[in-house]
Structure 1
Amino acid sequence: MKIEHLLYDYLVETGISAASAAYINMFALLTAVLIIAFLIDFIIRKIIVQLFTQFTVKSKTNFDDLLVKNKVPRNIAHIIPLIFTLECTPLVFIDFQYIENIIQKGLEIFTIVLTLWIVRSLLNALKDYFKTLPRLKDKPIDSYIQVFMIFAWSFGFLSAFAILTGIEFIKFITTIGAASAVIILVFKDTILGFVASIQVSINDMVRIGDWITFEKFGADGDVIEINLSTVKVQNFDKTITTIPTYSLISDSFKNWRGMADSNGRRLKRSLNIKLNSIHYLSEKEVSDFKKIQSITAYLETRQADIDSYNKHQNINKELLLNGRNLTNIGVFRKYIETYIENHSGTNKEMMIMVRQLAPGTQGIPLEIYAFSNDKRWKNYEYIMSDIFDHIIAAVPYFNLEIFELPSNTNFINPKQ
């Protein structure tokens, strides 16, 4: 008497029909197998994870820590209960061949999925480990891992499809190869969109709600929809721009999420100062500039250092060119920097810089580089305008001039 038929024989002897006894026997065996499988899985998982954890504490390398972090031991622990379930399936469904075939195929497909889980977690652990190695920090490790996983998932998908259809794997691959040319031609856009969607998702390139700028398609606004073939962007003028999904990985675009997630939004704008308005400062001008409260302390300290240097070097100051001197544009730069540092709309923890750019045909650009503490568009523009309103109005106080191209009124003879 077989053990799998003990309950069946007992039920038949008690007067229950053979068909009913077979079903009851099947459900009883299935329940027992599932309970035992879950218990085995729980025990094995606890043992393996515990052993790995203890090993990582004693080990000097951090690779085993990364294996635990990426759940490699946990995934490996599922192998033993899966093997147990596969071996018990013929016993559970001994009287139900059709159901046994379905369950058997399902378990084989789950074996493929489990294998992919283990491979993925192992590759993620390798990726994290390689990134800790100095000689590999500048290598595109993510790209290599992604390519390998694409092949692994493709192989797993084809294997699962071959199991479902009952076709031999080699024959199935041969058939797919012969039809691939037609499939690629007919479903080119869909395939490209599908691949792009996977890459966009894996690399976290774009999310719904992100503000992106895509000059090639005239898009500048918020992403409102991402699907297999297109990405919809609602521009700030409320128009809708549709972008092919594949373009997100084939062309260049700007995603403003980094700015939105940061602590400030960049202010970067310059003024063009006329070159012939720049000069050394006389003692009288320095004295007059000391009346500007925000740079009084700076001028006193700076001028004292310059005077000390010139005196120590016996510099003849009858000519301003000799020795060290303050210039009106240098003092103006310091004033702008101090003003921005004290402005309520700027983020003091991020970079604040005022610098000169290369002189050109329109004077010398004086660039302001800072970050606003409010990233909302309207408020950001208000902060930028408020800063430049003040700076532009302050230019004449430093005996400087802003360059601008002449208008028609500049050519009108005032005597006429």
Structure 2
Amino acid sequence: MPTELLETYPLIGTALALVGLALAALFANFVVKVLLLRLVHRLLSYTPYGRDAELKQHGVIERLANVMPAMVVSAGIALVPNLPEFVVLVVRNVANATIILTVAMAISAVFNIVDVIYHRRPQARLRPVKGYIQVFKIAVYVLAALLMIATLLDQSPLILLSGLGAMAAVLILVFQDTLLSLVAGIQISSTDMVRVGDWIEMPDQKADGAVIAIELHTVKVQNWDKTITTIPIRKLVTEPFKNWRGMQESGGRRIKRALYIDQSSIRFLSQDELDRLESIGVLEHYLQKKRAEITEWNDRLGDRAKVLANTRRSTNIGTFRAYAEAYLRSHPHIHQGMSIMVRQLAPGPDGLPIELYAFTDTIVWVNYEGIQADIFDHLYAILGEFDLRVFQNPAGHDLQNMTASESAV
């Protein structure tokens, strides 16, 4: 009776076969994901990678497991009776295309795992590979797309590949940014221009902070205000930028700042003032040496030494420069293995610049700023001992005092 019914109504047999095929696909999915995956995970749990939660979250095995239902459909659709050949072909091709896409996604997940494992190595920050992995993933997906198209059209992939030569110009135009970024990434990696963790400064791109990621198309910089600047990677090859890695590796950070001295306060020092300044510990050796040098010079002048303009004398600005340099050389937080210098710059309308050039013994920003501030706090405060004044444009209080003095007169 059932046989006669199926012969009389063939669509019922077709529907039952389709339902059976769907159930077979679901059963295959259940067997693979519930039983086989548990077995595989249990076996992997005996390995270091199998116990790593960060690696397991990429789901390589789970993605491969999705291949089984598609394979059942691809193999079983031909067994369904009374289906048009065209429908069988379309369903099989779609199932095969799904298998190709699933495998491509699994390979992409494998690349993600490779990236994670590589970045755990100490030298990973010196040679980032994320850009190359992204290129490989693009290549996998492009190849998968070609295979899927060939499968859906039921044509050989070689036919599509033979047409790529004519499409080369179009492909280059479409992937222009990717190709330029890939070349720039290779240049950056081979020349060691930038590493993850480097402090770079690129004013044109509003970037001033630490590099947190080097990818295929972009470099991400976390600025000191915690904002993120994304720079096209090729900009690092075509435009100038400053990399502070050398400072970070040297262990010292430069201080280069000037005090502006009121030039009208510069004068010669008297003998009493020299005696008083000689009692300052860091100046004692300098002033003794300077006094002997000046005395020897003036003794050679003979009678001409009676005119003070012919003689050499110590100045308050020169003595202050010597004090500032001696202070830096005795400072516990100044790097004594690097350059230390106190020099005069060209005078201008803002006074005579006395520039300090030295390096702290730390590169930590907060500590550096504190050390620098302490040094200049001290130097500003001690200027009065040398009868020097800092130059400052007249402020409201100065003008008020000037007006009051004129009114009193």
For 1:203, the equivalent position in structure 2 comes to 191
Report 1:78-157 matches (<5 A): none
TM value normalised by structure 1: 0.56
Report 1:176-325 matches (<5 A): 176=165, 179-314=167-302, 316-325=304-313
1:341 to 291, 306, 329: 329
CA contact (8 A) 1:280 1:320 kept: no
1:414 aligns with 2:407: no
CA contact (8 A) 2:335 2:359 kept: yes
TM value normalised by structure 2: 0.57
CA contact (8 A) 2:209 2:222 kept: yes
- Which residue identity does 1:335 align to in structure 2? Y
CA distance in 2, matches of 1:315, 1:225: 75
For 2:366, the equivalent position in structure 1 comes to 378
For 1:111, the equivalent position in structure 2 comes to none
Computing the radius of gyration from Cα coordinates, the structure with the larger value is 2
CA contact (8 A) 1:315 1:322 kept: no
CA contact (8 A) 2:299 2:305 kept: no
Give the CA deviation at 1:188: 1.8
Give the CA deviation at 1:321: 2.5
Task: State the Cα deviation string for residues 165-210 of structure 1 (Å, max 9, x = none).
Answer: 999xxxx9x975x644323322221111111111111011111111
SS in 2 for 1:346: coil
Unpaired stretches in structure 2, ≥5 consecutive residues: 1-142, 144-155
For 1:332, the equivalent position in structure 2 comes to 320
* Identity fraction in percent: 47
CA distance in 1, matches of 2:220, 2:260: 40
CA contact (8 A) 2:213 2:219 kept: yes
CA contact (8 A) 2:328 2:340 kept: yes
Give the CA deviation at 1:375: 1.0
CA contact (8 A) 2:350 2:391 kept: yes
CA distance in 2, matches of 1:265, 1:210: 15
For 1:363, the equivalent position in structure 2 comes to 351
CA distance in 2, matches of 1:288, 1:265: 35
For 1:91, the equivalent position in structure 2 comes to none
CA distance in 2, matches of 1:303, 1:316: 19
Give the CA deviation at 1:318: 4.6
Structure 1 runs of 4+ with >6 Å offset: none
CA distance in 1, matches of 2:316, 2:209: 42
CA contact (8 A) 1:362 1:403 kept: yes
Give the CA deviation at 1:320: 3.4
> How many residues are matched?
249
For 1:32, the equivalent position in structure 2 comes to none
For 1:101, the equivalent position in structure 2 comes to none
